[in-house]
Structure 1
Amino acid sequence: MLGVSNPVSLSDYKVSLKNGFLPDTLPLKCLSSPYYRPWEDIVHDLPSLIQSGQVRDRIRQLPVLSATDEHLPDEREWQRAYVVLSYLMHAWIWGGEQPEERLLPAIARPFLDVSERLELPPCATYAALNLWNYTSSSEDLTNPDNLDVLASFTGTDDERWFFVVSVAIEAEGAKTIPFTFSAIEAVRRNDDARVAMLLEEMEHCLTRVIAILDRMHERLDPQVFYHRLRPMLAGSKNMAAAGLPNGVFYDSGDERSGWRQYSGGSNAQSSLIQLFDIALGIEHLATGETSPKARAHGAFMSEMRKYMPGPHRRFLEYLGSIANIRNFALSLPASSSVREAYNSLVLRLGALRDAHIRIVSRYIIAPARQRPPEEPSKKVNLATASMQPQSEGGAQNGEKRVFYGTGGTTLIPFLKETRDETKAAARFVD
């Protein structure tokens, strides 16, 4: 096995050498203080409460609890509180026939405090849904068969599978972190052979990541995902069609009260996915210039970093300041082993994005074009909004379907352009 080196202290960025952006130890299954029993009781019963239409009645009965070091004595407790409040918030907003645009003080006040502590926005981010919301029956986190979720909106195995596949990808992708830093160090030493070897190891890891992602269809039914789970993950930004024209009013009972708009949980908020781009210099197109589309994508990716835990965000910033692999590859002859390894790795990253597009087509585009599994209801949410024709570009283009992500972005055009930009990096090196 290749030896790897690590020139920075990953612990300073809350990054694990073993698990990457997943925590070193399993997330807490429950807040330890009985003070938070009212929160945990509802989260425990969340699937049945949502299904029966009783979830808002239960949440209305919640007392306004404080988020303090007295009751949350360590990092894992704060992370669990963030997960619990994320689920309570999204169940409150999206758990009825119509979305609820006013967040009660019982959720808003502690959620603002917990989010500030963890340097995250007060909504269900990728960290809440994936990084801190799993448990495992094995030390091997790369096999989704070993994993389970701690909180759930639907209680279905479909929902479990959707989230644990992402957790397994994070665990497998974590192996690229030490390879990345070793490759950066090998570039500084002008060690062509070692750089090429490390890039090949990274490609092997990406191949395994794609294999995990391709397992999504095994236990996730498109209709369950589209109609039951996905609407619960929607954010409050660009959600006018789904019933939130102004976002959500956070009624914290103090000066922080006000309207806020946030994106919903998205894989774009995965620090691992952005790490690949940063390490390989993907943001530049074949011309060496940045196009308007690339600038728009860069702005979106930069925006998504705000939805990552603060230490992870700073880790990516640090990596960006030292990344040198692409420039090194460009400095070598076209026939060099480094260029070949770099090209192959970038195209493999493009293949990962192809796999993502297949997932979106299967689980969002196709269900939106089919009849719903039940008779049409009065519900207003992301699913019902996406199934309605919407005018885009005026009469010239006519009526067409516009498919939005949970963060409010258009899906297929963004994903295809991002995929094409990724593959363009390899074409530029050729």
Structure 2
Amino acid sequence: MLPQIPQLSDYDVSPVNGFLPTEAPLDFLPDPYYQPWETTVASLQALILTQRIRRVVDALPVLSTRYLADEREWRRAYSILAFIAHSYIWGGNSPADRVPPSISVPFLSCCRHLELPPVATYAGLVLWNWRPLDPAVPVDNLENIFTLNTMTGSLDESWFYLVSVAIEACAAPTIPLMIKAFEAVRLDDGATVTECLRSFAEHLDKFGALLQRMYEQCDPHVFYHRIRPYLAGSKNMADAGLPNGVIFDDGSDAPQRYVQYSGGSNAQSSVIQFFDLALGVEHRPTGEKAAPGAAPSPSSSSQDAAAPPAQQHNFITDMRTYMPGPHRRFLEAVSSVANVRPYVRARPNDRALTTAYDACLAMLRAFRDKHIQLVSRYIIVKSRETRNRSSSRSRQTNLASGSAAPFKPTAIGSVGAERIHGASGNDNKNIRGTGGTALIPFLKQARDETGEPAIDAWARRLLNNGPSDATSVASGFGASGSSGRVGARLTKVGEHASGEMEIVGLAGVWTADDSEGGICHW
């Protein structure tokens, strides 16, 4: 018996706003009992700048969550406490590895209720952190939405969150659309499947334009040096001063243990993972290549194909544990009914169907290309500049002191200060993403894997950056293999044939062949 097609309402997914809530998030908690939290989160910028955040938080009362009346209040409380916790951890001259009971006790309670880890996730930073100016205007209109909370008080930080909010809202119609496609596959209604895929491709084409609006009001320098440090989690943060992670002190006499969690990441967006599941795009652990000679995907005679089993150490799979419980279960339900890819593969002669499917892959791949460009500008370029300055200071210090010892600055945490890598700061391979992975290799691999399911041989050559058979020439336009067929190559955006990425900008020209980076890296 085929599994049931998931109903959006069963998983807290809105047919209008997608993974964003149908009702706008609360501006504040209505019960005056929670005023100490609201006052603190409203003053984060001033408290961080004057380095009073820890004294204020230490003095807060330990409030109960029993007076939170509904899901909107639980989400507001979680978001507030996540912002305060991160400000407390990173808002001093060195990071704090212990969060006091005034925040830990209610924060852990909210996390249990919402099925989230105790860290500022994408849900708290983006999904539940916006309000509309005019409720009648669509949420994907960036001019009509504002953030509720930031840590730095800057327009840049607000804009950074809002671009993701707009993309989530813009993507919302694709969720019921692809659910309809799943149902059409079961009815063997190829015309409806084709129409759904065409509409899906048109929506995917819009996301890249929204993503590129990030450049309008979020300055790379401000993001890298003033915003990014506060978004860091507690995983792989030894170089930043948290070798063991953090302790959420519950105030009890029981032994307290350190925990480590990844910081906020766009990989925690359920809608991006929904795209992959709907189209049957499979991702391998970072660095793992497809088996030589393996088919892009096994053909299936059934109309529903179960998703491939989750693999250990797969970053994308791991990121599902940072999504709200209902959204995580929705993705699991979708993976059990996603049937479009095997359906299209079984009908290679239906040109309209295969072209529509391959167009979706092309649009999703183009979106990932734009994301790589954005990460390069906001993270890689700024990281290179920082390391160059560190090297310059190191040489000057050694010359002045006459010492041959390497310069090793300590990490500092005030707003606007650089958190320096330490002794290994000049090693490109030490730059890590918030999720604990090498982000540029991860993004490039995810981008390349997006083209693997392409049905048409010509489309597969384009989307996979080269001919699909070993007898063809692997690069260049107009090159022909022994078969006599012309092999086209879709060059990766801003990359050389070798896979190195060329960046041209204020920092000049350089290549990043194995650089790593993320929303926050050390």
Q: TM-score, normalised by structure 2?
A: 0.75
**Cα displacement (A) at 1:379:** 3.7
Q: Which residue does the alignment assign to 1:11?
A: 9
Q: Which residue does the alignment assign to 2:96?
A: 100
Q: Give me the whole-angstrom Cα distance separating, in 2, the residues matched to 1:386 and 1:353.
A: 29
Question: 2:239·2:422 contact (CA, 8 Å) conserved in 1?
Answer: no
Q: Give me the whole-angstrom Cα distance separating, in 1, the residues matched to 2:420 and 2:448.
A: 25
Q: Which residue does the alignment assign to 1:259?
A: 258
- Name the amino acid aligned to 2:190: D
Q: Give me the whole-angstrom Cα distance separating, in 2, the residues matched to 1:201 and 1:65.
A: 48
Cα root mean square deviation, aligned: 2.6
Q: Give me the whole-angstrom Cα distance separating, in 2, the residues matched to 1:354 and 1:389.
A: 33
Q: Give me the whole-angstrom Cα distance separating, in 2, the residues matched to 1:409 and 1:222.
A: 21
Matched, 1:114 2:114: no
Q: Which residue does the alignment assign to 1:194?
A: 192
Matched, 1:390 2:388: no
Q: Which residue does the alignment assign to 1:287?
A: 294
Which region of structure 1 is more displaced relative to structure 2, 419-428 or 91-100? Answer: 419-428
Higher relative CO (Cα under 8 Å, sequence separation at least 6) belongs to 1
**Cα displacement (A) at 1:54:** 1.4
**Percent identity at matched positions?**
48
Q: 1:310 aligns with which of 305, 325, 332?
A: 325
Matched, 1:422 2:421: no
- Unaligned runs of 5+ residues in structure 1 are 1-5, 392-397
Computing the radius of gyration from Cα coordinates, the structure with the larger value is 2
- Unaligned runs of 5+ residues in structure 2 are 284-289, 298-308, 394-408, 461-522
Q: TM-score, normalised by structure 1?
A: 0.90
Q: Which aligned segments of 4 or more residues in structure 1 are displaced greater than 4 angstroms?
A: 294-298, 374-378, 381-389, 427-430
Classify 1:297/1:161 alpha carbon distance in 2 versus 1 (closer, same or farther; 3 Å): farther
- Name the amino acid aligned to 2:207: V
**Cα displacement (A) at 1:193:** 1.8
Matched, 1:356 2:371: yes
Instruction: Render the CA deviation track for 1:124-153: whole Å, top value 9, x for unaligned.
Output: 000000000100113311111211110111
**Cα displacement (A) at 1:408:** 2.3
- Name the amino acid aligned to 1:82: Y
Q: Which residue does the alignment assign to 1:48?
A: 46
**Cα displacement (A) at 1:390:** 3.0
Q: Give me the whole-angstrom Cα distance separating, in 1, the residues matched to 2:429 and 2:422.
A: 7
Matched, 1:400 2:428: yes
- Name the amino acid aligned to 2:209: A
Question: 2:65·2:110 contact (CA, 8 Å) conserved in 1?
Answer: yes
Q: Give me the whole-angstrom Cα distance separating, in 1, the residues matched to 2:340 and 2:61.
A: 53
Which region of structure 1 is more displaced relative to structure 2, 238-247 or 317-326? Answer: 238-247
| Superposed counterparts of 1:330-349, under 5 Å | 330-334=345-349, 336-349=351-364
- Name the amino acid aligned to 1:74: D
Instruction: Render the CA deviation track for 1:80-105: whole Å, top value 9, x for unaligned.
Output: 00001100100000111211001111
- Name the amino acid aligned to 1:422: T
Q: 2:220 aligns with which of 216, 219, 222?
A: 222
**Cα displacement (A) at 1:371:** 4.5
- Name the amino acid aligned to 1:192: G
Number of corresponding residues: 414
Instruction: Render the CA deviation track for 1:326-360: whole Å, top value 9, x for unaligned.
Output: 00111012552111111110111111111110110
Q: 1:136 aligns with which of 129, 132, 136?
A: 132
Q: Give me the whole-angstrom Cα distance separating, in 1, the residues matched to 2:176 and 2:422.
A: 46
Question: 1:389·1:402 contact (CA, 8 Å) conserved in 2?
Answer: no
Q: Which residue does the alignment assign to 2:385?
A: 370
- Name the amino acid aligned to 2:329: R
